[in-house]
């Protein structure tokens, strides 16, 4: 990949950056309590602290509670963010909001899946050879599709929470946080990285084929031989004479 090596390295680097960004989203609350996909600031703040709910891939945390301590759930697939918010302050979600948000949290298990595939794509693209680049491009495209699916799911899930909290009149405020924006950035990096790696793979293959054809032609001229294509009637008449 001599002529396309620089661009291939750029594509590989984009896949690496996408992997790192997906790691950040995956280790959000409760793994790292201050990294959230959705951050809800409650209306019971004081001069010394504000109470926050950070919601992540595998659970949520209540930070700076009334007693000044932090509380986090265990790490598990799927949780009920609407029900939790109903329990900690005066708000009421309807049944559809509760069930939809609870069901969609299970889809967030695709965060680590996309992260693992992006890492495999990075390793494949970083290896030498056209085959490695092709495998990397294909794997990266799968990681990109999964990232798009889970990103859309996250926006719907936390969009339900955000809309309700900001409109319930309690004074609480909800907003998308770090984990959401790293997910969006990862999607963009995977998209660009996939295109660049695939393009450099195809370009390198075409260059190699052209180089091989030229080399064969030069070898023929060096030996003083030329290959002339015979028409079918010429081949037929030659067989007749013998």
Dihedral Cα 146, 81, 174, 85, nearest 10 deg = 180
| Cα 189 to Cα 178: distance, rounded to the nearest angstrom | 16
Segments of the chain with pLDDT less than 70: 1-5, 45-48, 128-129, 203-242
**pLDDT value, residue 232:** 43
In 10 A of CB 203, how many CB atoms?
15
Angle 145-13-120 (CA atoms, 0-180°, nearest 5)? 50
Q: What is the pLDDT of residues 21-33, one digit of tens each?
A: 999 999 999 999 9
**pLDDT value, residue 127:** 80
The residue written with tokens 């052209």 in the block is: 210
Q: Is the dihedral of CA 23, 26, 29, 32 positive or negative?
A: negative
DSSP 8-class letter at 67: T
**pLDDT value, residue 86:** 92
**pLDDT value, residue 21:** 98
How does strand 60-63 pair with strand 71-72? antiparallel
User: CATH second-level architecture of 5-241?
Assistant: Up-down Bundle (1.20)
**pLDDT value, residue 48:** 64
Q: What is the pLDDT of residues 218-231, one digit of tens each?
A: 454 455 554 455 54
Q: At a CB cut-off of 8 Å and minimum separation 6, what does 230 contact? A: none
**pLDDT value, residue 65:** 84
Domains in the chain: boundaries: 5-241
Instruction: Evaluate whether 137 touches 208 at the Cβ level (below 8 Å).
Output: no
**pLDDT value, residue 217:** 45
| Cα 140 to Cα 161: distance, rounded to the nearest angstrom | 31
What's the Rg (C-alpha) of the chain?
28
DSSP 8-class letter at 130: H
In 10 A of CB 18, how many CB atoms?
31
Nearest Cα residue to 197 out of 145, 111, 107, 135? 135
Q: Is the peptide bond before 33 cis (omega within 30 degrees of 0)?
A: no
- Whether the pTM exceeds 0.75: the reply is yes
């Amino acid at each position: 990949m001599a002529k396309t090596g620089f661009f291939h390295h750029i594509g590989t680097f984009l896949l690496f950056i996408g992997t790192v960004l997906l790691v950040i989203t995956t280790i959000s609350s409760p793994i790292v309590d201050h990294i959230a996909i959705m951050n809800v600031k409650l209306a019971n703040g004081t001069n010394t602290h504000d109470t926050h709910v950070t919601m992540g891939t595998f659970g949520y945390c209540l930070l700076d509670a009334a007693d000044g301590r932090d509380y986090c759930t265990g790490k598990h697939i799927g949780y009920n963010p609407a029900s939790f918010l109903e329990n900690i302050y005066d708000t009421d979600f309807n049944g559809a909001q509760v069930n939809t948000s609870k069901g969609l949290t299970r889809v967030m298990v695709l965060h680590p899946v996309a992260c693992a595939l992006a890492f495999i794509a990075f390793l494949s693209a970083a290896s030498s050879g056209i085959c490695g680049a092709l495998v990397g491009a294909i794997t990266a495209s799968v990681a990109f599709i999964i990232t798009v699916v889970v990103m859309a799911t996250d926006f719907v899930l936390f969009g339900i929470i955000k809309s309700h909290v900001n409109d319930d009149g309690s004074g609480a405020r909800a907003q998308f946080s770090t984990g959401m924006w790293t997910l969006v950035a990862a999607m963009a990096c995977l998209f660009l990285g996939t295109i660049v790696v695939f393009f450099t793979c195809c370009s390198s293959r075409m260059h190699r084929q052209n180089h091989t054809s030229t080399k064969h032609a030069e070898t023929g001229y060096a030996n003083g031989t030329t290959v002339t294509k015979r028409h079918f009637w010429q081949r037929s008449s030659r067989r007749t004479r013998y």
